């Protein structure tokens, strides 16, 4: 078999593998939406409603990130220009949307958007981060009773309110963007090792079918 043919076959298997992750991302998104809509499911019966909501929002976020990330990867891998433009547009809209959620957070006239605030609270509480860049992002929010207030999810407080009065030293320092970037930087070697392992498996599978074909002939 020519080296060029081997490369084409590897690209084919990689495309299938990436497609699997795209499907997994979509499945996570659909499963989280189902949890949010169907309040009579088993998870709601076994757990408190707010816990189910947090789990649903986290799954929705993870599924969206996986789906968009692999769309971008496929755009680069397959050199599909329109797909790269689509992913870039989604990222820009996503950043603007986060800023809008921070600005509208806690607005008593926008109770219909409380689910968005719950998502943000779940992220900040789980990752122990505050704001997009840092806690100063919340200064642009005009729905607080006091200018120094921050969301309770920016602290270790268990109070179920939108804002809390806490000392500055009890507020999470890092922004959520920075936390996510740090996670990727700290786990770069792990991610590379996973990719190498997956590539090795794919090559082994390819060799297996190749040898099987030779023995058959």
Question: CA dist 141 to 126, 131, 144, 174, 205, Å?
Answer: 22, 11, 7, 18, 55
In the DSSP assignment, the letter for residue 79 is T
Count the neighbouring beta carbons within 10 Å of the beta carbon of residue 130: 24
Between 188-216 and 176-186, two packed helices, what is the crossing angle to 10 degrees? 50
- DSSP letters spanning 169-182: GGS--B-HHHHHHH
List phi, psi (to 5°) of 131. 75, 180
One digit per residue, the tens of pLDDT, for the chain of length 217 reads: 566 666 666 666 656 666 666 666 666 656 655 555 554 544 444 444 455 555 555 555 555 656 665 565 555 555 556 555 555 555 555 566 777 888 888 888 877 777 778 878 877 887 788 888 888 888 888 888 888 888 888 888 778 788 888 777 788 888 887 776 776 666 556 655 655 665 566 556 556 555 555 555 5
Q: Say if CB 63 and CB 71 are below 8 A apart.
A: no
Q: What is the Cβ-side half-sphere exposure of residue 51, based on CA atoms within 13 angstroms? A: 6
């Amino acid at each position: 078999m020519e080296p060029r043919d081997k490369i084409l076959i590897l690209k084919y298997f990689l495309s299938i593998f990436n497609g699997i992750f795209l499907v997994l991302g979509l499945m996570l998104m659909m499963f989280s939406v189902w949890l949010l809509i169907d309040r009579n499911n088993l998870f709601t019966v076994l757990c408190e409603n707010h816990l189910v909501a947090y789990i649903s929002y986290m799954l929705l976020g993870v599924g969206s990130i996986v789906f968009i990330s692999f769309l971008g990867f496929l755009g680069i891998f397959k050199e599909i220009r329109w797909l790269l433009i689509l992913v870039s547009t989604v990222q820009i809209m996503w950043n603007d949307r986060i800023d809008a959620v921070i600005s509208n957070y806690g607005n008593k006239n926008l109770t219909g958007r409380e689910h968005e605030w719950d998502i943000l609270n779940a992220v900040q509480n789980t990752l122990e981060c505050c704001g997009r860049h840092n806690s100063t992002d919340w200064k642009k929010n005009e729905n607080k009773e006091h200018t120094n207030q921050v969301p309770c999810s920016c602290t270790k407080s268990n109070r179920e309110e939108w804002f809390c009065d806490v000392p500055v030293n009890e507020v999470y320092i890092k922004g959520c963007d920075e936390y996510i970037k740090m996670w990727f930087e700290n786990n770069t070697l792990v991610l590379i090792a996973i990719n190498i392992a997956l590539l090795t498996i794919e090559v082994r599978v390819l060799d297996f079918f190749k040898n099987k074909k030779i023995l058959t002939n």
